[in-house]
Structure 1
Amino acid sequence: MLAAVLLGARPTAAADPAPTDAWQHEVAEGRRHWAFQKPVAPAPPAVRDAAWPRGAIDRFLLAAMEKAGVTPVADAGREPLIRRLSFDLIGLPPTPDEIRAFVADTGADAVERVVDRLLASPRFGERWARHWLDVARYADSSGKESNLPYPHAWRYRDWVIDAFNADKPYDQFLREQIAGDLLKADGPADQARKIVATGFLALGPKGLAERDRRQFEMDVVDEQIDVFSQAMLGLTLACARCHDHKFDPVTQRDYYALAGIFMSSETLYGTGSQLQNRHPATLIELPPDAGLAAAVAPLEPAELERLRRQVQELADNAADLARDARAARREGKDANNAAPFLRARVARDRQAAAAADLDQFRADGSPRTLAMGVLDRSRPVDSPLLERGDVDQPAGVVPRGLVEVLCGPDEPRKIATGSGRLDLAFWIAARDNPLAARVMANRVWLKLMGAGIVATPDNFGVMGMEPTHPALLDHLAVTFMDDGWSVKKLIRRIVLSRGYQLAAVHAAAAFAIDPDNRLRWRMDQRRLDAEAIRDAMLAVAGRLDLEPTPGSPVARVREDRRGLMEVVNTVRRKPDTCRSIYLPIVRDQEPEFLAVFDFPDASLSSGRRDATNVPVQGLFLLNSPEVVSLAEAFAERVTGLPGTSAERFERAFEMGLGRRPGPADRAAIAAFRADFSGRRRGPPSGPGQGEPRGDARGDARGDARADRERLALVAYCQALFATAEFRHLN
């Protein structure tokens, strides 16, 4: 069988072990788990305080609070509310003008108009795409030992941004990532975009130094099963690779039925043949009329010819060194010296890297449009069941199929034709699937409210947490599907609820009953994620570039680790001013700013980030050249505003924290200015720095005063960046 040949194992007889009566009983019991039952639309419950709810969401929340004897806190004020909405929807702070306009707007639909404006902003897609990229484990390199560049990963990133901005129906969003290459397309441009979407399956970390081809193939398949099951289903199906799942009713047969689907597709990620890469792969060439941006600029004829000559010269040199190595081996002169063989290998790698550079261009020097992704193999294969997950212990071959416990009793689970990716894509995104809509509704709720209805967003299985509001989760899932799987409508529905708009304040009576705020009687104070902190600093400093260059720096490096580290070091030496989503994410070398503030491991699917508060963050805000530079730019921007010095300090406060300073804040600002001025004032010292005379004395004093003012403002702006209020939403 082809699967056995692919794995390098002795072909085994086809065998799909018949399920026992005991197992069928276990599957039937497993289907009773709350998450494996199809969501139904529950009627919103009756509440005693009928004036409090603004919609169905609020009725579910209030009913639970009333049952527990908890009273919700008051609504948030206008200033914290617009700041909350702005960061949650577009990941950027509101401007002082936007805040003032919202505070002054007394219209009944004022909040709705702000929400609609933010949802329509192109910044929305940049914000919400980053949430999905966390679960898609997006990165621009392969990670692990070799950590080679993925020069075209950025196409998938941009596709996700465009999908959220266009409000692509979520069911279609899922289908395209699993089987976009197999879906019907409306022309070359649509076909190209659908192929780019399958980059979801190609982006994962890869052990390119793995010597055993069979092990490498199965590790890639395992990673694909792991990411699609956690991201789209909220299940840990990869736990069944070596044995039946310890907790969920998922067997090894289920796992290897899925494995056959992914083995029947070729994963194309575009790392060239070189010393650190034992498993090179090509890329998918997209139609030239697809209208997609190129990764590199066109080559002039002279430059193209120079590159061709370089490839030929390197090829000739590699051939010469290969002959020398073979001769040395035949003569036995270098039996204990690997130098000739290493020189030949390095020369071959250099030639391959140059050839990969040349391969990015057509004969006329125009760039080819390439993408990562997956394509079906010419013949589908079924996977052997590997005992203990060992490629050297294949048992019976398992037909390609779907997970039994998630299929209806009469629903076919075996794949009749093709790889099965298309079947898998439609099964995942089907309305009858009990998980897809629930998992996404919970992800959206988590990002907006600070905690999921299910606290384990990537695990809806038996060991996951049960929902705090199961009826509300089903309500959100069903209305999500009824609204055409519109993510924007789901977000709008949640942020317009009273539950979302509550103040983030303490209430002793409610806290005594529900200290963890599981009933949602208040809004939790939330720390901004790493990207929002960095982007907010850039925004208030007037340095944020909202029109990033298409592509990625990784697309423009040679295909070797040295070139990748040059990208990393360049980002460290001269930080870019683009939004953080466009920064290159090199596995294990993430940008320092992001890493300090809990950027997730880009090798793992992550639906919930940590939000730590550790000393290294304070030290970073105090000492980072990037933060200091932004504080200086912020101060320079404020200096150009009209008004007195005291008024400019107050404007900086408003720009940084999203509210006007109160009396206590003004007193603190005045104390800061006085203290800073007192510590900085003093007579000049040193040779030639005596007291100036006449007009020069007045000029010098004026210059010294202006210098103290500038230094005070820079220090103040940096202090604003370091405040907890800047980094948190109330």
Structure 2
Amino acid sequence: MRLAAFMIALLPVHAAIEFNRDIRPILSDRCFSCHGPDNNNRKANLRLDVESAAKAKVVVPGDPDRSELLRRVTTASKALRMPPAYAGHDALPPAEVALLREWIAAGAPWQNHWAFLKPEKPKTPGGVHPIDYFVRERLRREGLAPSPEAPKHALVRRLSLDLTGLPPTPAEIDAFVNDSSPGAYEKLVDRLLASPRHAERMAIRWLENARYADTNGYQSDGVRSMWRWRDWVIDAFRENMPFDRFTIEQLAGDLLPNPALSQRIATAFHRNNRTSAEGGIVDEEFRVEYAADRVETTSTVWLGLTMGCARCHDHKYDPIRQRDYYSLFAFFNRTPEKGFVYNFGNEEPYVAAPTAEQRRKLDAYDARVEQTRRRWESLQPALRKAEKKWSRKTRDLDWYPSEGLVLEHAAEETFAGDREVDLGKEKARFNHRDPLTLSAWFKTDARKGAILSRNEDYFEGTGYAIYLIDGKLRFHFIFRWTDLGMRVETKAPVTPGEWHHVAVTYDGSMKARDGHTRIWLDGADQPLTILFDQHLWPVDNKAPFRIGAGGGPEYRFQGQVKDVRVYNRVLGADEIAVLARKSEADKRRLAFLDRHLPPELKAARDEMRQARRERDEYFATIPTVMVMMDSVERDTFILKRGAYDAPGEKVAAAVPAFLPPLPEGAPPNRLGLARWIVSRDNPLTARVIVNRYWQMLFGTGLVKTVEDFGSQGEPPVHPGLLDWLAVEFMDSGWNVRHILKTIVMSETYRQSSRVTPALLQKDPENRLLARGARFRLPPEMIRDQALAVSGLLTEKTGGPPVKPYQPPGLWQELSSGAYKPDQGEDLYRRSLYTYWRRTIQPPAMITFDSPTRETCVVRETRTNTPLQALNLMNDVTYVEASRKFAERMLREGGADPVGFAWRTALGRLPSPQERDAAGQLVARLGRHYETNPNAAKELLKQGDAPADPGLDPARVATLAGVASLLLNLDEMVTKE
């Protein structure tokens, strides 16, 4: 149904014509695509989105018969009629023509688009909840009356699902039903809002908005680690972080003064976009795509604008110019990221993000490191005394570090590009988690060649090697050159024709950056270019250790190499200086430390080294998260037709021109943008956010098109209510719990959801709110409540993603890799924590309409398909939940297990008819399982949870049928 026709159906009875409500939808729907904001594609040089232009040419206020607009939409001539028949458009229906005529006759009063006007808080009378006032006024005009309050058992279930995502327990239902005090309902609301479950319930919608997933997307769809940002979101909702701060930290936490680690983690919001590891892509093309995704996600989530429509040309319906799009793009064009990413792990920039428990352990490791360091420092006088005594006895000293030495080849070898020295396959074998040091002296006039290697004999083959490439030293340690390994290179070339010492150290952290991998030239630590940093996979290295070869025939070395040494540990700077023959004093001191320390000193030194090693090993297990950073100065251009390689006019970072400007003095960066978004002068943000909270509670927003507050979006059914809520949200300090409590405390929210045929005919979608909301639960709630009522649910907050059941072979069939379900409690965690692969989303979630998370989605959709019923009846999750629920019925249900089941699942006792039907089912299934005991045993094998050995299998299987019936009931999967 077209927007204009839909809005006509929702017109208040006997309402005066209002431009934004009645006329703008018609013009936007029928006219703006050719006569709107898009300057490049405008026909006949006619604008109907601007009052002065429309009234100058085709609208004569007060005179419909002289208005060309009305003539063109009513003419019988197909050649002249608008919208044009030759373009496939239908003529305007009589109702729309009548509205246009009435509007022009009334003087054609104009309004700026409602969403672009700053909201004002309408006055409401005392003694009535403001929400109820607005709703009842509309109902009164429509000749409707509100519904009575829902029964208490239904109300507590509704509220619990809405605010925590989980059903109430029978004890919680009884506590509320039996509490007759005036404040019982408010007390229930406050308890649920303060529950840790509430934070998890709020987080999942935000994850969908943010396109959060555990993989990169596109065809390769490699693994990434972003769950520490997901946990940040949960923590923010648990702390009831004000929404303005919630916004600023996610969009620009890294730009705040002295940002805390948590504020940097928050910026991962805009690193949740898809990234591509496809071979052959153009790096700049995809870097532009990532920035464009951030523009469109930001505008959808916070502004409710379809900004993507202005990427290639001016917006056809809203006053968003292509310049506005790229001015917003400029805010996100400074992040130092690549378009081509590697298929596994996180991409720069990222930070280590320890959990609270990991932080405590890390602090303990740091304390031990400091303690052992201080002990070692306290022994320095004794060390100097012992060293002095030893030194007097020692004259000439031929020493080099020997601890951890696994390969040594001191002889000088000469190469002319036609030979190599093969030291065999048994020496210097290292994997991706093994620390190492490689050391050699070399001399060459060539600009390329393999100095030493243990990799397959082709360029950048599997294994590790030190090369000269274009005169620079390069080290790689690779499983697969395209996406798994590391590659670093010195920024400066070496001087040809001279002897040089090269050393490479790698600490086994699987990282190249931040000093984890270093190249030393003549004893000096070199600045490096990180070419590739995805050293995440074991290296099955079958190649021999070679000197003078390792990159194929083209990279045979030309020159001399000598004193090759390999260690299975990271040598310190002083030890490398000795190998580079930089200091005789260092050499003597290190020789003493290595071979002649007195026992007490040696024990203290070894303890300090062990403490550092253990700390570093533990730190390597800390999860990372990709974050935003502004460190690249890039010019931004309007891209012609949106193409990355077609730059046009240069633009600066700015907000859309039709909205209030950035405050004077605001920085033209993401921090300035974030503060502008949550400024009280911004007419959109508060409206957009409270509208989504309304959608969460009522199934549909006050503006149904939650993603589009522009001209093509639906105007609010209750505009005064939307503005009141928006201003109340800001007045409360952007307090999310306050606005949720305000909504659920209203009588409008508490209405019964029962509907009469007359009301269903008058308002089938319940847009007028004459009854309580009734709609199917979101997918995660359907699964989570099945786990909850069965007793399987694991209520553990945060942590890495988990893999519950899914059909076997699905990943192999549709993509790559094998899906291995978790075991134990991880199978039964809330769906919020389910591992999300973008190309093969969790089938139980997608079946019930979860978005794919490939792009930002803010509208909740609901379909009704046979596959959903099949899933509830046959998926192992629900079969297992049914049998465990049956065990609860037997253990906790006493003499009335069926009544217990109804109260646990639905919050009420069964009706006589339901009890009779359940009794018949129990009798029939009981006979079946008594005569087919093996069938009962097979049923009890479904899922990993062990069956209760103290219960009769036939009885459990019988009641599992009742449990399955309940889990499949419409009432069970619907919010009543």
Same fold, TM exceeding 0.5? yes
**Residue equivalent to 1:149:** 223
Q: Which amino acid aligns with 1:118?
A: L
Q: Are residue 657 (structure 1) and residue 730 (structure 2) matched?
A: no
Superposition deviation, residue 412 in structure 1: 5.2
What is the DSSP-based 3-state SS (H/G/I as helix, E as strand, rest coil) of the residue aligned with 1:639? helix
TM-score by length of structure 2 reads 0.61
Task: Give the superposition deviation at 1:371.
Answer: 2.1
CA shift for structure 1 position 682: 4.6
Q: 2:733 aligns with which of 484, 487, 500?
A: 484
Determine whether 1:240 maps to 2:310. Answer: yes
Q: 1:165 aligns with which of 238, 244, 247?
A: 238
Contact 2:336 2:349 in 1 (8 A): no
The residue number in structure 2 matching 1:86 is: 160
- Aligned in 2, Cα 1:674/1:316: closer, same or farther, shift over 3 Å? same
Find the residue that maps to 2:285 and give its secondary structure: helix
Identity %: 33
Residue among 325, 331, 335 paired with 1:265: 335
Match of residue 581 from structure 1: 832
Kept in 2, the 8 Å contact 1:318–1:347? The answer is no
What is residue 617 of structure 1 aligned with on the other side? 868
In the TM superposition, residue 635 of structure 1 has moved relative to its aligned partner by 1.3
What SS does the corresponding residue of 2:618 show, helix, strand or coil?
coil
Alignment equivalent of 2:888, drawn from 604, 616, 637: 637
| Equivalent AA in structure 1 for residue 459 of structure 2 | A
Q: Deviation at 1:262? A: 0.8
Distance across 1 between alignment mates of 2:436 and 2:772 = 61
> Structure 1 residue 493: deviation in Å?
0.4
Paired letter, 2:434: R
Residues 170-212 of structure 1 show CA distances to partners (whole Å, capped at 9, x for unaligned) of 1111111111111135xxxx61111111111110112332621
Segment of structure 1 superposing worse, 141-150 or 93-102: 141-150
* Counterpart residue number, 1:382: 635
Residues 347, 626 of structure 2: 8 Å contact kept:
no
* TM-aligned CA distance change 1:654 to 1:683, over 3 Å: closer
Q: Provide the secondary structure at the position in 1 that maps to 2:793.
A: coil
Mapped contact 1:272–1:356 kept (Cα < 8 A):
no
Mapping for residues 315-354 of structure 1, pairs under 5 Å: 316-318=453-455, 320-322=457-459, 346=480, 349-352=483-486
CA contact (8 A) 2:486 2:511 kept: no
Q: CA deviation at 1:584?
A: 1.4
Equivalent residue for 2:844? 593
Aligned positions of 1:279-428 closer than 5 A:
281-286=347-352, 291=356, 293=358, 307-309=432-434, 316-318=453-455, 320-322=457-459, 346=480, 349-352=483-486, 357=510, 364-367=616-619, 368=622, 370-379=624-633, 381-407=634-660, 411=661, 420-428=669-677
Match of 1:256 in 2: 326
Distance 1:374 1:204 in 2: 12
Does residue 973 of structure 2 align to residue 719 of structure 1? no
Alignment partners' CA distance in 1, 2:485 and 2:877: 38
Pair 573,243 (structure 1): closer, same or farther in 2 beyond 3 Å: farther
Match of 1:451 among 700, 706, 724: 700
Per the alignment, residue 528 of structure 2 pairs with none
- Structure 2 residue aligned with 1:230, among 300, 315, 336? 300
Mapped to 2, the partners of 1:259 and 1:466 lie a distance apart of 28
State the partner residue of 2:197. 123
Secondary structure in structure 2 of the residue aligned to 1:44: coil
Which structure is higher in RCO with an 8 Å CA cutoff and minimum separation 6? 1
Letter in 2 for 1:83: R
Q: For residues 20-70 of structure 1, what are the alpha-carbon distances to aligned partners after superposition, in whole Å with 9 as ceiling and x for unaligned?
A: x99999599999110000000011269xxxxxx841110000000001100
Alpha-carbon distance change, 568 to 231 in structure 1, aligned in 2, over 3 angstroms: farther
**Alignment check: 8 A CA contact 2:295 2:328 kept:** yes
After superposition, where does 1:162-241 map in structure 2 within 5 Å? Answer: 162-185=235-258, 191-209=260-278, 211-241=281-311
**CA distance in 2: counterparts of 1:683 and 1:384, whole angstroms:** 74
Residues 236-264 of structure 1 show CA distances to partners (whole Å, capped at 9, x for unaligned) of 11221111111110111111111121112
Q: Any residues of structure 2 matched to 1:458-477 within 5 Å, and which?
A: 458-477=707-726
**More moved, 31-40 vs 509-518:** 509-518
Residues 361-419 of structure 1, C-alpha deviations (whole Å, 9 max, x = no match)? 9962122563211111153x331111111223211211221111112xxx458x98966
- Amino acid of the structure 1 residue aligned with 2:113: H
Segments of structure 2 that go 5 or more residues without pairing to the other structure are: 1-38, 40-44, 54-109, 370-403, 405-429, 439-451, 463-476, 488-505, 517-611, 804-810, 935-948
**8 A Cα contact 1:321 1:347, kept in partner:** no
- Structure 1 residue matching 2:881: 3-state secondary structure: helix
Using the alignment, how far apart are the partners of 2:484 and 2:275 within structure 1? 22
Bigger CA radius of gyration: 2
Instruction: Report deviation, 1:571.
Output: 5.2
CA RMSD of aligned residues (A): 3.8
Q: 1:72 Cα shift? A: 1.5
Q: 1:119–1:488: 8 Å Cα contact kept in structure 2?
A: yes
Q: 1:287 to 1:130 in 2, by over 3 A?
A: closer
- Segments of 5+ residues of structure 1 without an aligned counterpart are 1-16, 47-52, 326-342, 555-560, 686-702
Mapped contact 1:202–1:268 kept (Cα < 8 A)? no
For residues 306 and 184 of structure 1, the distance between their equivalents in structure 2, rounded to whole angstroms, comes to 41
Could you tell me which residue of structure 2 aligns to residue 14 of structure 1?
none
Alignment CA distance shift 1:704-1:487 (3 Å): closer
Contact 1:178 1:425 in 2 (8 A): yes
* Displacement after TM superposition at 1:516 (Å): 2.9
Q: Say which of 121, 132, 135 aligns to 2:209.
A: 135
Q: Distance in 2 between matches of 1:627 and 1:169?
A: 38
Aligned counterparts of 1:657 and 1:59: Cα–Cα separation in 2: 32
Q: Compared with structure 1, are the counterparts of its residues 421 and 350 closer, same or farther at alpha carbon in structure 2 (3 Å cutoff)? A: closer
In 2, the alpha carbon distance for the partners of 1:171 and 1:257 equals 23
AA of the residue aligned to 1:184: P
Q: Is 1:74 paired with 2:148?
A: yes
CA distance in 1: counterparts of 2:180 and 2:351, whole angstroms = 54
Instruction: Indicate how the Cα distance of structure 1 residues 499 and 100 shifts in structure 2: closer, same or farther if over 3 A, else same.
Output: same
What is the one-letter code of the residue matched to 2:334? S
Is the alpha carbon distance of 1:126 and 1:282 closer, same or farther for their aligned partners in structure 2, counting shifts above 3 Å? Answer: same
Q: Residues 630-668 of structure 1: CA distance to partner in whole angstroms, max 9, x if unpaired?
A: 111111222212522xx0122112111121222222222
Q: Which shifted more, 447-456 or 139-148?
A: 139-148
Structure 2 CA distance for partners of 1:721 and 1:683, relative to 1, 3 Å? closer
Does 2:722 correspond to 1:648? no
Equivalenced residue count is 644
Question: By percentage of residues, which structure has more strand?
Answer: 2
Q: Given the two structures, how large is their TM-score scaled by the length of structure 1? A: 0.80
In the TM superposition, residue 108 of structure 1 has moved relative to its aligned partner by 0.9
- 1:551 equivalenced with 2:800 (yes/no): yes
Whether contact under 8 Å (2:698, 2:773) holds in the other structure is yes
